[in-house]
Structure 1
């Protein structure tokens, strides 16, 4: 067995978009790899058929796919990007191909002159899709008298940019129907409506979609619509009472949705399940006591691409929940009866169901992503994409711990260094998750395992504010830096008291996003840590409010005030206020295009520490956004982890 290296993640495979065909024992998925030399990700379609996994495409540039029939797939690809680059006007289009899973080359099928974000098949001739509509660009093309390019970016709404998408002013994700026989499409939603989710009923006659229409300022509530394809009728089901996680047809006459009115716990409030009867327009909550998040919030840095977390079959909705430190598959009927289908702990990253046959992408123990077959609540691993890690690399299994703070149980983990020697003293790193409404679990985390291989103890916990324990536990609105800070410090105290092999004089702290906020907060409230690495952080709630893509509503919701209602409250919870108390050498890491926690947050804190003569460094990663540590360019991810490790080595070893 050899040590896990810093850049070993470039050899991992990442699995996404697992989808059944029309047969229960047949599915396809995207498999992503890293090309370290070219500094990019490669993506190909694989198929599972006759109990075997086989690679179907080899262009390394596939994006997403759907099944056309039992034997054919439709997929989009960047194979034609070279053609785009050669065109002077840089025409935007999405080229679709079809391919037979039994062999043969992919063939061009049709092209849509838009940036398509999702597509579903209605029948052989029609497809429903979403695509980015740019109103400003459309207006420019209509007014062709303007021959010169503008020297400025025109902004007249908030949010005007989005992490990972850049400037989004007057851009919307619109819903369309494409007619293959006419090679044309028609819009269903208007130019100011942003469609977030859509789905078809079983007989492909109706489309349900959730959307947000806004001008000047985006609302926090959504609208719910049903579109009748045959007569082109658009029916409003709900106009702005809820924030929807998703909506699906339970059958032809009923919708099942998960939604929240945000009245009790704000934007992070867990949704409840509702049934909408389309015949009598009746709305009924079927889970009044349900208090779980319906997504997977178990953190890891070994994922790439997305997976479905919801499906419908036989009048049941199948969905994912995060509970404590794990995520699970469940099913619910129209009466609100819920059954948990997965019993093992870990992370269910996504699943597909057909004729009660479930396959899912999961992270189990110290295994990286693999595909599992679920039968009668028993799991069987059917892939070996990443088994080399367990077979060849030294890993350290996290030990779970539970501490009590003010009658609240706080769960956490500790990872010992590999080749652990009980007679030695080791430096340690406290790692704090983002969110704050996410969780750490007992699964593989590359950076933590790497640090364990470099001789560090790594410990981490799920303080109040985290997911998995219901609304009340997750609710830290107006309390940032108080009860959550107390939980983390109490956990740290007990770790150092319990494990004498940790050198208490050589402990570092790091975290990203909310974890970056908490890192900034910690160094202004205690000098117990020898070094810190603050990533994609928040330092000043006033600047966060007015500069980031979510700031104007996230700050008001989470801190409870705006700069005009009570700026003193924002300043009270801002780490920057306490920067003159910092003595801890601190590294700041930010993506240049991180619009979620804009780089100015790191700049403010870095400047404050430099002004007060605290040793510090700021690393701004070019062209990277908030997802730097998870899906940033491979070389950027390598450099980020190297910078952090070198910083801790300098002060802790």
Structure 2
């Protein structure tokens, strides 16, 4: 195989300026205009649909923000100066709308140049608490919804290193907050600290700890010291009148949760010993119950260090887990325990058993039910009605059980037993409402409940609302969308008995907006928001969902966009973007969840920008990897991958839109892994773009993505699926991009660096772009604009302007 001279010259030219100290670049104007278009706000709506809080964010962070001090400890990334997650995305403005017919208004009292996060409704939904991060720390603020007024409750002394640093008291008049200890010691500067000895890890014979390749783990005693200091916090009670009192002394607080009646608080703290193998949430922990005054009630659970779970996605630790409050009772705790020793290889009739215990948590423990597969959660209704859910990843199965929480002798009734990847048969989600504890429970009308679903089918997406009789399990359709030029989603029920629902409606050129729909009165839609399309230049782009068949007959889909300057009969270059997904049956793999009526929304990782540059774009192309019966999907990964790609190119070529010699493929993360494999095992593409991927699976030996088997159980799979192992066959121009601070499991920056070195050493046309300070997803404006520029240059050089007569390989 050889690379034509033309390609060699182009490659040298492109890398010529690529190897220089290149400053951040910006993409062409048509792409820049879309990338910088202002975003519509996120919204937080109360349960009655009366009040809406609008949260305005910036399109990007800045490289200055990403360059702020960061410590990576125990799976966390922390700014030790401000004491909040260093990758936190902030809002910069807040507005409110009081009443369905009111207009959006500004909030008085907000600080200038705010960086707002952690917005949380009070239980009565009259207030919303949030944090504001300044240069010296994190402040607690509260928004009075009816007055549209914000006020500061604390100094910049919150400890948000472990996540949201507060939770509301149930009376909505006070907030329980994690604050920095008054006497916190100084952190160790690990760059300057002088080692006192080596770091030693030990494995005992016969004790298996087959953990995935976590990032940002603790590495030594200095890291342990710093982690403990950064996790330590005091608990303070802040009243809305501005007063505060110490509620609990310093500890490593992980979770805070009030009982529905507000009389008890469940608090989980982190304990030593720490681990160098797993993140903080698998460190030892204690779960303790206190009363609302902070007095000790009892220690409910002690969990040891979790390093050595059995193998498999469905493995669990033994003992109490998934502890939560029962939403329909004042103060009752529920939890699950494994009946199979936590080992999915054990053959048992029931995997889990669910228990409950009432306050003061010293009395009788009562069994509620057993689940055939792994317990997930419960939706509570009343004394006689609740729904429990289980699932099993290996079979993609889930069950819904209807059971009587007051009578465990009454056999649970299986309401649904289905493949959760089968979207066409999805019965929907049960409707909930707030009860007198301000907790969400099943919305019941005597023996009836309600379901809302997406309504996917071969004909498209037509959401529905059903009523289900819990005695005979028969369903009655109350409503189904009939929109054919728009897409409707049922967001939430305002009042199921009255037929009032919040719906979201969009079209390919209409930005999604929210409305009230009454399915009983059949009156017109009542608009709640009026967001406008910020992407005017592509609002009329020709778009359709195409269906086509793989060689084995499996039906596939993709969303096809034509260039904004499309001319009938002209052949265009194409970009195909995809992400593989594993299935256990072909029926589910062939189902369509795309709609040509969905809003056309370009974001930094999207290929849609290039319709403005004269490209056909096939976005979200189906790349199912199917393994039925005893066969695992990855057993034939490469064959199916290439077959998916060929079917997509053939389908668009048959429509007459493209020059099939000018097709690029791209993807992010597992999509990057897909891209590298396609270039290694086929001659279908002129070029590829692979972002933040993993390319050598021997570096993730205890499983990756949806592969449960370890390397020693399936070495041929790990070898065959690793593009690094086939670098000698890869002769197609490949653009590798990676955030140099990638925090995703398995996609270490080393993956791209080593793959680039292999390809370079073998003479392949490849370019590696390492984005400073960026994680697995990219955030800084400078990085994203440069990313778009890199991709555009690559496509222009190796796809659009590739000569008609050239060849990629012999």
User: Structure 1-normalised TM-score?
Assistant: 0.74
On the 8 A contact 2:465/2:478 being kept in 1, the answer is yes
Answer whether contact 2:666 2:672 (CA < 8 A) is retained. yes
Q: 1:131 to 1:441 in 2, by over 3 A?
A: farther
CA offsets 1:531-559 (integer angstroms, 9 cap, x no match)? 1001222323322335xxxxx364543xx
Tell me how far apart the structure 1 counterparts of residues 504 and 559 of structure 2 sit (CA, whole Å). 23
**What corresponds to 2:34 in structure 1?**
8
The reply on whether 1:354 has 2:483 as its aligned counterpart is no
Is 1:409 the counterpart of 2:555? The answer is yes
Partners of 1:531 and 1:585 within 8 A in 2: yes
Task: Verify the 8 A CA contact 2:544 2:561 in the aligned structure 1.
Answer: yes
Match of 1:486 among 643, 655, 660: 643
Matched, 1:277 2:330: no
TM-aligned CA deviation for residue 486 of structure 1: 0.8
Residues in 2 aligned to 1:331 and 1:150: alpha-carbon distance in whole angstroms: 67
1:394-415 deviation per Cα after TM superposition (whole angstroms, max 9, x unaligned): 5414212111232322122210
Asked whether the equivalents of residues 578 and 623 of structure 2 are also in contact (C-alpha less than 8 Å), the reply is no
In structure 2, stretches of 5+ residues that fail to align are 1-27, 66-88, 188-192, 203-208, 219-275, 307-316, 427-439, 584-588, 801-810
Mean alpha-carbon deviation: is it higher for 218-227 or for 244-253? 218-227
**Residues paired across the two proteins, number:** 597
Say if 2:571 and 2:658, in contact at 8 Å, map to a contact too: yes
Shift of 1:371: 2.7
2: CA distance, partners of 1:229 / 1:17 = 37
Question: Is the Cα–Cα contact under 8 Å of residues 212 and 700 in structure 2 kept in the other structure?
Answer: no
Aligned-partner Cα distance in 2 for 1:130–1:274: 37
Deviation string, structure 1 residues 451-472 (Cα, Å, up to 9, x no partner): 10111110145435289xx999
Matched-pair contact (CA < 8 Å) for 2:580–2:671: yes
Q: Are residues 149 and 350 of structure 1, via their aligned partners in 2, closer, same or farther at CA, if it must alter by over 3 Å?
A: farther
**1:541 is matched with which residue?**
697
C-alpha change, 1:48 and 1:636, in structure 2 (3 Å) is: same
Residues 76 and 95 of structure 1 are in contact (CA less than 8 Å); yes or no, is this contact kept in structure 2? yes
Q: Distance in 2 between matches of 1:440 and 1:153?
A: 51
1:463 touches 1:484 (CA, 8 Å); kept in 2? no
Q: Secondary structure at the match of 1:590?
A: strand
User: How far apart, CA to CA, are the structure 2 residues paired with 1:250 and 1:96?
Assistant: 34
Tell me the SS of whatever aligns to 2:607. Answer: helix
1:626 alignment counterpart = 776
Q: Which residue of 1 aligns with 2:742?
A: 593
Q: Relative to structure 1, is the Cα distance of residues 177 and 495 closer, same or farther in structure 2, using a 3 angstrom cutoff?
A: farther
Distance 1:97 1:503 in 2: 58
C-alpha contact (below 8 Å) 2:548/2:555 kept by paired residues: yes
> Which residue matches 1:171?
281
Report how far residue 275 of structure 1 moved.
2.7
Could you tell me whether the CA contact under 8 Å between 1:6 and 1:642 is conserved in 2? Answer: no
Question: What RMSD in Å do the two structures reach over aligned CA positions?
Answer: 5.1
Using a 3 Å threshold, how does the CA distance of structure 1 residues 495 and 129 change in structure 2: closer, same or farther?
A: farther
Choose from 455, 465, 470 the match for 2:614. Answer: 455
**Once the 2 structures are TM-superposed, how far is the Cα of residue 280 of structure 1 from its aligned partner?**
2.8
Quote how far apart the aligned CAs of 1:510 are: 0.5
Taking a change above 3 Å as real, the CA distance of residues 7 and 595 of structure 1, as seen in their structure-2 partners, is farther
In the alignment, the residues of structure 1 paired with residue 281 and residue 196 of structure 2 have an alpha-carbon distance, to the nearest angstrom, of 17
Contact 2:383 2:406 in 1 (8 A): no
Q: Is the 8 A contact 2:690 2:737 kept in 1?
A: yes
Q: Give the aligned partner of residue 652 of structure 2.
A: 495
1:238-317 aligned at under 5 Å gives the runs 242-243=373-374, 246-264=377-395, 269-281=396-408, 282-289=411-418, 291-292=420-421, 312-314=442-444, 316=449
The 1:539–1:590 alpha-carbon spacing in structure 2 relative to 1, beyond 3 Å, is same
Distance, in Å, in 2 between the alignment partners of 1:28 and 1:212 is 42
Higher gyration radius (CA): 2
What is aligned with 1:32? 57
The partner residue of 1:577 within 715, 720, 725 is 725
CA contact (8 A) 1:400 1:413 kept: yes
User: Residues 201 and 252 of structure 1 are in contact (CA less than 8 Å); yes or no, is this contact kept in structure 2?
Assistant: no
Instruction: For residue 5 of structure 1, give the secondary structure of its aligned residue in structure 2.
Output: helix
* Corresponding residue number in structure 1 for 2:543: 398
Residue matched to 1:84: 137
**1:99 counterpart residue number:** 144
Secondary structure, aligned partner of 2:699: helix
How far does residue 511 in structure 1 lie from its aligned partner after superposition?
A: 1.1
Deviations 1:272-311 (A, max 9, x none): 322343223344421124644689x9xxxxxxxxxxxx98
For residue 380 of structure 2, give the secondary structure of its aligned residue in structure 1.
strand
Contact kept, 8 Å, 2:734 with 2:766, in 1: the verdict is: yes
Deviates more, 1:3-12 or 1:249-258: 3-12
Q: Please report how far the alpha carbon of residue 148 of structure 1 lies from its aligned counterpart in structure 2 after TM superposition.
A: 9.7
Q: 1:35 to 1:538 in 2, by over 3 A?
A: closer
The equivalent residue for 1:382 is: 528
Indicate the SS of the match to 2:756.
helix
Alignment of 1:361-372 (within 5 A): 364-372=507-515
Q: Is the 8 A contact 2:158 2:177 kept in 1?
A: no
Note the alpha carbon deviations across 1:123-161, whole angstroms, 9 max, x for none: 3179999999xxxxx9x99xxxxx999999998976587
Alignment match, 1:89: none
Q: In 1, distance between residues paired with 2:300 and 2:792? A: 51
For residue 104 of structure 2, what is the aligned residue in structure 1? Answer: 54
Partner of 1:610: 760
Listed one character per residue, the Cα deviations across residues 318-362 of structure 1 (whole Å, up to 9, x for unaligned) are 566584686957667546556696635887888333323333556
The aligned residue for residue 249 of structure 2 is none
How far apart are residue 271 of structure 1 and its match?
Answer: 2.4
Distance 1:199 1:434, change over 3 A: farther
Provide the rounded CA distance (Å) in 2 between the counterparts of 1:118 and 1:237. 33
1:106–1:160 distance in 2 versus 1, CA, 3 Å: farther
Change (3 A) 1:626 1:125: same
Q: Relative to structure 1, is the Cα distance of residues 113 and 456 closer, same or farther in structure 2, using a 3 angstrom cutoff?
A: closer
- Residue 91 of structure 1 corresponds to none
Shift of 1:383: 1.8
Deviates more, 1:236-245 or 1:397-406: 236-245
Distance 1:258 1:480, change over 3 A: farther
**Structure-2 separation of matches of 1:4 and 1:74:** 39
- The whole-number CA distance in structure 1 between the counterparts of 2:388 and 2:342 is 28
- Counterpart CA distance in 1 for 2:765 and 2:175 is 55
Partner of 1:430: 576
Counterpart Cα distance in 2 of 1:97 and 1:212: 42
- 1:427 counterpart SS class: strand
Q: 1:456 to 1:175 in 2, by over 3 A?
A: farther
Contact 2:141 2:151 in 1 (8 A): no
